[in-house]
């Protein structure tokens, strides 16, 4: 049975860590041979792709949180579902859906 989990939390609250713990629990479960793989996704991956393509220097000193938030919110003004659609139409997500893999999204932020 496929499951989909969205993890919600403040910045740096440990959302990726929770996803890692879920994955470890699946791997270590003795019945895990019957449980499909877990794939972790982020809605922000599209924003990262955009910024890394056009202004890669922003990443020289770590994650450019301010730029990520500004670009993300700006494009959401034109299409509130822009990042949801970007993720759900990505090849990796579609592949995971088609093969029934478990999915966790680690950056649920907007209602």
Report the predicted TM-score, pTM, of the whole model to 2 decimal places.
0.79
- Encode burial over 72-90: b for 16+ CB neighbours within 10 A, e otherwise: beebeeeeeebbeebbeee
Q: For each successive 10 residues of the chain (111 residues), what is the average pLDDT?
A: 84 85 73 68 94 96 93 95 94 92 85 60
What's the CA gap between 61 and 74, in Å, rounded?
23
For 34, residues 6+ apart whose C-beta sits below 8 A from its C-beta are: none
State residue 33's pLDDT score.
Answer: 59
Q: Which residue has the tokens 């970007």?
A: 86
State residue 111's pLDDT score.
Answer: 60
């Amino acid at each position: 049975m496929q499951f989909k989990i969205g993890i919600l939390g403040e910045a740096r609250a440990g959302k990726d860590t929770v996803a890692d713990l879920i994955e470890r629990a699946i791997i270590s479960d003795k019945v895990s041979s019957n449980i499909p793989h877990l794939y972790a996704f982020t809605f922000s991956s599209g924003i990262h792709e955009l910024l890394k393509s056009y202004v890669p220097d922003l990443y020289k000193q770590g994650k450019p949180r301010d730029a990520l938030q500004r670009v993300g919110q700006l494009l959401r003004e034109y299409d509130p579902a822009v990042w949801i659609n970007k993720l759900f139409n990505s090849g990796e997500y579609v592949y995971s859906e088609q093969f029934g893999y478990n999915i966790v999204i680690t950056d649920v932020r907007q209602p």
